[in-house]
Structure formats: C-alpha cells, structure tokens
Amino acid sequence: MVSHSELRKLFCSADAVCFDVDSTVIREEGIDELAKFCGVEDAVSEMTRRAMGGAVPFKAALTERLALIQPSREQVQRLLAEHPPHLTPGIRELVSRLQERNVQVFLISGGFRSIVEHVASKLNIPASNVFANRLKFYFNGEYAGFDESQPTAESGGKGKVIKFLKEKFHFKKIVMIGDGATDMEACPPADVFIGFGGNVIRQQVKDNAEWYITDFVELLRELEE
C-alpha cells in the first residue's frame, strides 16, 4: 500500500493525467443517453450496469448494446445538438489547472469518439489526446457497427492505451481518474488510480481504490497547496 501523502505527491508530479469520460468528466453515460434518444433506454442501461460491474466482457456488452440501439449518424449529431453532455462540476477548472502546469491531459473512454471529441473541445483538449470507440456508418448514414480494432473496444483497453502513451511519449508518471472497474484495471500500467464517485458510486471501486474522491475540488486543492 502506498501512503496517502505519497499518492498526493505522485499526483502533483505527474506528467500526464488520463480521465475516463462517462460519469467522470461528464455526468451522464453516453451510451445510455444515446439509447434514450433512440428509444431503447431500459434494456441498454441494464446492460451498461452489468458491464460496469465487470460481469460481462466489455466488447460483448458494447456489441450487444449497439445492436439494440442501431444509432444512425444523424441521431448521433442530433443528440449532441439537442442534449449535449453536461460537464461534471470542477472538471473545467481542474483540466485547465493541469494544462497550466504543462501536464498532458488525455480522455480515454469506452464511449464514442464523436461524443468524446465534443467534450474534449469544451475542455481545450486536442482531438489527438482522445482515445475512444469509433462508430461506423454506411454511406446513407445508417449504423454499420464499430471499429473493433480500437484498444478501447476491449476489456483492459484503457491499460493498453496508457502503456502506448508511456512508450510513445516517455511519460514517467501517469495518473488515471475514473468511476468504473475498467479505469481501476488500468493501474498498472498507470502509476496512480484515483476513483471518482461524484456522479455515481460503484461499490467495487470505492472499496478497492487507494484514493477515492467525490469532488474534483479535492484534486484542485492538492494542486494549489
């Protein structure tokens, strides 16, 4: 076990911080919002719950949910225009504080790139720092599956992204922040995992994370001290 003061030091000296997106950077679960928008909310949110609890392999759960939703390109664009995701309080300030300190900020999500890039633009995070799943559409805009080659489409995908970032940019210390089991599993290779329960508390994460917060103000305070 690393002591809390050591974890705090590691966070304050990190050269990269990676955030999960759904229920962490934004208040919603993107796939559930898409399901609601496409009229299949109940069936899909039950599957999301099982996937987040670690009960179903991630790719299988994603395939199953998308087969139910069948989102068209137009529906995804309308969702963003009519029901844009809500940023979690404090995230804008935290990201901009990290960027002022020349810390690289990444968004790593099992959600969809079109939604995550929209969130990234609100936080001044370049699209090149976004790792997420790509939806595929036929030429007429109908749903055609998703890009299964993305690391984020697999269980353990967030860890693969972090390993890739370490190899590519030679980061010494990477922090992963998120609400779910897939975020906690990314440490290692991440050097520190901070569990976030400000939107939804996942008991497995709360019980096992060495550092668990419910408000981004706690991390802002660490950076101010």
Domain containing residue 183: CATH number = 3.40.50.1000
183 flagged as catalytic: no
- Helices 4-13 + 217-224 axis angle, to 10: 80
Q: What is the domain range of residue 66?
A: 33-83
Which residue did the predictor score with more confidence, 164 or 44? 164
pLDDT at 54: 63
CA–CA separation, 75 vs 205, rounded Å?
Answer: 33
If asked whether residues 20 and 40 sit together in one domain, one would say: no
Q: Which entry of 15, 22, 32, 191 is annotated as an active-site residue?
A: 22
pLDDT at 51: 66
Q: What is the pLDDT of residues 72-123, one digit of tens each?
A: 999 999 999 998 889 999 999 999 988 988 889 999 998 899 889 999 999 9
pLDDT at 20: 92
Q: What is the count of structural domains for the chain? A: 2
Q: What is the pLDDT of residues 6-37, one digit of tens each?
A: 777 776 778 989 999 989 999 988 888 889 88
Whether 141 maps to a domain, the answer reads no
Average pLDDT on 137-145 reads: 93
- Region of poorest pLDDT, from 56-60, 63-67, 104-108, 173-177: 56-60
pLDDT at 107: 95
If asked whether residues 154 and 78 sit together in one domain, one would say: no
If asked whether residues 18 and 104 sit together in one domain, one would say: yes
pLDDT at 209: 80
If asked whether residues 79 and 94 sit together in one domain, one would say: no
If asked whether residues 12 and 50 sit together in one domain, one would say: no
147 flagged as catalytic: no
Which CATH number does the domain housing residue 44 bear? 1.10.150.210
pLDDT at 132: 93
User: Which residues lie below 8 Å from residue 17, measured CB to CB, with a gap of 6+?
Assistant: 98, 103, 104, 105, 106, 174, 175, 177
If asked whether residues 127 and 155 sit together in one domain, one would say: yes
If asked whether residues 56 and 113 sit together in one domain, one would say: no
Q: What is the pLDDT of residues 49-62, one digit of tens each?
A: 776 666 777 788 88
If asked whether residues 74 and 159 sit together in one domain, one would say: no
Q: Which entry of 20, 32, 179, 183 is annotated as an active-site residue?
A: 20
Taking the CA atoms of 5, 10, 12 and 18 in sequence, report the sign of the dihedral they define.
negative
The answer, yes or no, to whether residue 3 has pLDDT greater than 80, is: no
If asked whether residues 44 and 131 sit together in one domain, one would say: no
Whether 158 maps to a domain, the answer reads yes
Q: What is the pLDDT of residues 190-218, one digit of tens each?
A: 888 989 888 877 877 878 888 888 888 88
If asked whether residues 78 and 91 sit together in one domain, one would say: no
Whether 142 maps to a domain, the answer reads no
pLDDT at 143: 93
If asked whether residues 79 and 90 sit together in one domain, one would say: no
Residue 171 amino acid letter = F
If asked whether residues 38 and 16 sit together in one domain, one would say: no
pLDDT at 2: 64
